[in-house]
Amino acid sequence: MRSEAPPMIKLSDYQAPAFLVRHVDLKFCLHPTATRVFSRLECVPNTGKSAFLLNGEELQLISVEIDGKPLADDALILTETTLEIAADALPDGDFTLCCETEINPEGNTSLDGLYMSKGMYCTQCEAEGFRKITFFPDRPDIMATYSVRIESDEPVMLSNGNPTASGPGWAEWHDPWPKPSYLFALVAGNLVSYDDSFLTMSGREVGLKIYVRPGDKHRCEYAMDALKRSMRWDEQVYGREYDLDLFMIVAVDDFNMGAMENKGLNIFNSKYVLASAEIATDRDYELIEGIIAHEYFHNWTGNRITCRDWFQLCLKEGLTVYRDQQFSGDQRGHAVQRIDDVKMLRARQFREDAGPLAHPVRPEEYIEINNFYTATVYEKGAEVIGMLRTLVGAEAYERALTLYFQRHDGQACTIEDWIKVFEDVTGTDLAQFKRWYSQAGTPRISVKEDWDGNTYMLTLTQKTDPTPGQPDKQPLVIPVASGLLGSDGTELHSTEVLVLDKAEQTYRFEGLPEKPIPSLFRGFSAPVIVERKISNAERAFLLANDTDPFNKWEMGRAYALDLLSVLATDAESTIEPDFLNAMATLLEDQTLDPAFKALALSLPSIEDVMDAVRQGGGTPDPMACYDALSRLDTAMAGRMKGTIEQIYNALDNDGPYTPDPQAAGERSLRGRLLGLISRLEPNVETAMRHLAHADNMTDIMQALPLLIRAGRPEAKEALGSIYESWKHNDLVLDKWFAAQAMATPPEHAAEAVAQLTEHPDFHWKNPNRFRSVIGVFAMANVAGFHRADGAGYKLLTDWLIRLDPVNPQTTARLAGAFETWRNFDDGRQALMLGNMQRIADLKGLSKDTGEIIGRILEAKG
């Protein structure tokens, strides 16, 4: 691999900072290739006499002064990543450190630190980007106030906090709230703002501004509305009021992440700000709403209270994801939101837990912290918060959060601080519950039932498989929200939270009139895998009768997976008519929400089918799983043909597009029905009519993939028409590329994607564009990526090798496409391993990508 391995950072090695920084003055003289940065740090010794170690990367050091006096060369040790000032050169008490550095924003293709996006200056400092701007003790437990002066010819110059003064060619900002360096932000460029205001619960008026490029201002209305709803919700539900005079969002086209919660100046990937009916789908609107809420909620859970070190990342992210999920549930309906959240958790986090990249919610070591912005830290971290709330109750959770904000405002905290708050409020010892933060892996719950004519006994056993570095597992505290149903569908025992905290436990229910049918883990009360022997007849019963919407959906999914795993291993097997009848009954149920119906009628993902085959003892063939899905989809369409067509036509809405949840749910159901109809039409004529009459991007993106999948010549015409209409809009072009990378039939996908990479608009250095082609192919065209000849693996590897020197973060994330290599046949395993070895052998491979590939390859044993 590389001759010298990068150092491993360990939680156990944490030490308090030798120096604190009370205040930071920064001056930027902006220039595309030679920006000068002047920093003045008010420093305070914290641990006694020692050298002062500052982080700095890709910086040209011009000068260093202590209390106005230049430092001698022999007082400094400068490396590629640090600047160390000798202890003897430092005063005994407080002092001021001034540095002048020069950086090259235009040459910063990593999009980390200060860089340029289409002529606009912008920053990304989480986790460790600030060290690419100036020398600084770049760690989250150093919290300081900031004053910033920007000098530039750019018409708009922004930083954190409140504006204090400005003039021709300069602007000054001050943030009075202490913050870690990862929350620093600067933006300068030719921007216009969409303005509004918000009256807080104490009567303060806050100015709201969304900055975008000229021409995009009319696409900010929904984002602004989502921001105002988020601010009001956080006041009403958590009692959290905004604390500055101004809140700003800036939309940036070149951005590695979705968005960043910099204090008072959130920087967003453009795709999560800009929306109108003609460029954004219902899903885009939903994501804009959720991500704006997430970043705004960070103002308290992340900014006012931050992390002591990066191992505590789940402290801010898990809690804030949980809060944004609560918000989205209140806005769009809790049942559908919960199902969507669990689908994402299973698709990303469960697979992470089952593979070589498994790690605890709070990792114990890392090489590159950017590699731990994962589904485990975020989504599983949110599940841990939800379980804690379930166990202590909503009222105690609310009191605990109030105490958390009071006790730790302005501090950099740990998971121990968080747990202690709940222990103090409830008087409960949560030491065992805290294992959720330290133990990797997804618990498996086996179920045993006994009935003696009067008493029902439910025995639950928990087991967590070994994960890398953790061969032995201990029992967790698992909340099991459960109900018992009678044979007529009535509740014999309403929902009760059973607590499973031993390896095996039995629960007794007495005085029941008949043997009940259990409904377990209602609302997905814990992130576990339930292994229960259950007949398809019982699944059909629960699908029809369970009062818990999540479990109703879950039974349909489990029923479908049972059939699909058989179809994928035995092409001659038949499809149970009872399943098709159950789906038909669900479609015709007038009491169910359209959005729920759309989810319930959608089949599991191809990855789910492959997992089911593997759990049944087989080795999944991706193409056989793809064919199984097509066959069951077609059977459903045939069984429900008349009803599908009737409801599809009834849902045709001639009114203007609105993104509200009810209308979006109806479009979602109509789109699912269109997919079923298209299974019965070789010429996909209904999809062609759907596309021809589409007046919004949702309808277009429902029909276009169906034409591509069917190989219709009309698909090429439609693609050409969309391209000509929208070739100057990056967000639409991303969808245009993604539709082809995802929907092209697997047997031709690698070649089609290779051809897309030769398109003049495939700007591969832009993360959104790269993900829309290479990322979508590897993650969403699963059978195409895993084609037996390995063409998909080679295509991905070639591009990762090309991208790594330019953007290591994006490369490392997509390298995770190889993490499931052990799940396939010997031939595919060998092909994946060979391509990963090509990456591992690269000279100069980034530590981001090197860590991911190295951890996956370690699974070879």
For 748-779, how does the pLDDT look when each residue is reduced to its tens digit (9 = 90+)? Answer: 999 999 999 999 999 999 999 999 999 999 99
Q: Cβ contacts of residue 4 below 8 Å, gap of 6+?
A: none
In one-letter notation, the amino acid at residue 184 is F
The answer to whether position 138 is within a domain reads yes
Q: At what angle do helices 661-679 and 697-710 cross, to 10 degrees?
A: 20
Q: Which two three-digit tokens encode residue 539?
A: 């699944």
In CATH, what number is assigned to the domain containing residue 572? 1.25.50.10
In CATH, what number is assigned to the domain containing residue 520? 2.60.40.1840
Q: What digits encode the pLDDT tens for the residues 715-734?
A: 999 999 999 999 999 999 99
| Whether residue 407 sits in one domain with residue 335 | yes
Q: Cβ contacts of residue 725 below 8 Å, gap of 6+?
A: none
pLDDT > 60? residue 590: yes
In CATH, what number is assigned to the domain containing residue 82? 2.60.40.1730
Q: Examine the fold and report which residue of 463, 493, 526 is the final residue of a domain before the chain moves on.
A: 526
Q: What digits encode the pLDDT tens for the residues 299-310?
A: 999 999 999 999
CB atoms < 10 A from the CB of 758, how many? 7
The Cα-based distances of 498 to 57, 77, 326, 390, 481 in angstroms read 52, 59, 23, 10, 6
| Whether residue 405 sits in one domain with residue 486 | no
pLDDT at position 1: 30
Q: Cβ contacts of residue 3 below 8 Å, gap of 6+?
A: none
Q: Which two three-digit tokens encode residue 1?
A: 């691999």
Angle at 496 between CA 349 and CA 524, to 5 degrees: 15
**What share of the chain in percent tops pLDDT 90?**
99
Residue 53, helix vs strand vs coil = strand
Could you give the CA distance from residue 637 to residue 681 in angstroms, rounded to a whole number? 10
Candidate list 57, 128, 154, 295, residue with the active-site label: 295
* Boundaries of domain holding 464: 443-526
pLDDT at position 406: 99
Angle at 533 between CA 462 and CA 454, to 5 degrees: 90
For residue 372, give the DSSP letter: G
| Whether residue 149 sits in one domain with residue 19 | yes
Q: Cβ contacts of residue 624 below 8 Å, gap of 6+?
A: 568, 569, 571
Q: Examine the fold and report which residue of 620, 653, 680 is the final residue of a domain before the chain moves on.
A: 680
| Whether residue 469 sits in one domain with residue 411 | no
Report CA 258 to chain centroid distance, whole Å.
Answer: 8
In one-letter notation, the amino acid at residue 511 is G
The answer to whether position 282 is within a domain reads no
| Whether residue 585 sits in one domain with residue 520 | no
How sure is the predictor about 380, in pLDDT bands with cuts at 50, 70 and 90?
very high
Could you give the CA distance from residue 579 to residue 583 in angstroms, rounded to a whole number? 6
pLDDT > 80? residue 797: yes
Could you give the CA distance from residue 130 to residue 55 in angstroms, rounded to a whole number? 9
Q: Which two three-digit tokens encode residue 373?
A: 């912005």
CB 856 within 8 A of CB 823: no
| Whether residue 430 sits in one domain with residue 315 | yes
| Whether residue 483 sits in one domain with residue 378 | no
CB 765 within 8 A of CB 806: yes
Could you give the CA distance from residue 612 to residue 618 in angstroms, rounded to a whole number? 9
Could you give the CA distance from residue 90 to residue 184 in angstroms, rounded to a whole number? 26
| Whether residue 312 sits in one domain with residue 399 | yes
217-255 CB burial, b ≥16 within 10 A, e <16: bebbebbbebbbbbbebbbeebebebbbebbbbbbbbbb
Torsional sign, CA 529, 533, 538, 539: positive
Residue 552: in which H helix or E strand, if any?
helix 549-569
Q: Which two three-digit tokens encode residue 727?
A: 């070739």
Give start and end residues of each alpha helix (H) in 63-150: none
CB 810 within 8 A of CB 771: yes
Could you give the CA distance from residue 479 to residue 425 in angstroms, rounded to a whole number? 19
| Whether residue 674 sits in one domain with residue 572 | yes
The answer to whether position 272 is within a domain reads no
Angle at 437 between CA 432 and CA 439, to 5 degrees: 80
Mean pLDDT confidence for 534-544 = 97
How sure is the predictor about 2, in pLDDT bands with cuts at 50, 70 and 90?
very low
The answer to whether position 383 is within a domain reads yes
| Whether residue 405 sits in one domain with residue 491 | no
Could you give the CA distance from residue 650 to residue 644 in angstroms, rounded to a whole number? 10
Q: Which two three-digit tokens encode residue 435?
A: 């294992």
CB 853 within 8 A of CB 836: yes
Residue 482, helix vs strand vs coil = strand
The answer to whether position 600 is within a domain reads yes
CA-based nearest residue to 370, from 668, 617, 585, 111 = 111
The answer to whether position 522 is within a domain reads yes
| Whether residue 545 sits in one domain with residue 487 | no
Mean pLDDT confidence for 171-182 = 99
Instruction: Look at phi and psi of residue 161 and say left if phi exceeds 0, alpha if psi is from -120 to 50, else beta.
Output: left
464-493 CB burial, b ≥16 within 10 A, e <16: bbebeebeebebbbbbbbbbbbbeeeeebb
In CATH, what number is assigned to the domain containing residue 353? 1.10.390.10
CB atoms < 10 A from the CB of 73, how many? 9
pLDDT > 70? residue 589: yes
Look up 65 and say whether it is catalytic. Answer: no
Q: What digits encode the pLDDT tens for the residues 243-299?
A: 999 999 999 999 999 999 999 999 999 999 999 999 999 999 999 999 999 999 999
pLDDT > 50? residue 129: yes
| Whether residue 615 sits in one domain with residue 506 | no
In one-letter notation, the amino acid at residue 729 is N
The answer to whether position 91 is within a domain reads yes
How sure is the predictor about 5, in pLDDT bands with cuts at 50, 70 and 90?
confident
Query: How many domains does one find in the chain?
Result: 4
Mean pLDDT confidence for 7-15 = 97
The answer to whether position 794 is within a domain reads no
pLDDT > 90? residue 816: yes
Q: What digits encode the pLDDT tens for the residues 32-68?
A: 999 999 999 999 999 989 999 999 999 999 999 999 9
**What share of the chain in percent tops pLDDT 70?**
99
CA-based nearest residue to 278, from 701, 703, 706 = 701
According to DSSP, the residues that pair with 373 across neighbouring strands are none
In one-letter notation, the amino acid at residue 321 is V
In one-letter notation, the amino acid at residue 779 is M
pLDDT > 90? residue 860: no
Q: Examine the fold and report which residue of 419, 438, 457 is the final residue of a domain before the chain moves on.
A: 438
Residue 632: in which H helix or E strand, if any?
helix 622-639
pLDDT > 80? residue 781: yes
pLDDT at position 4: 61
Could you give the CA distance from residue 137 to residue 382 in angstroms, rounded to a whole number? 30
CA-based nearest residue to 132, from 111, 116, 147, 148 = 111
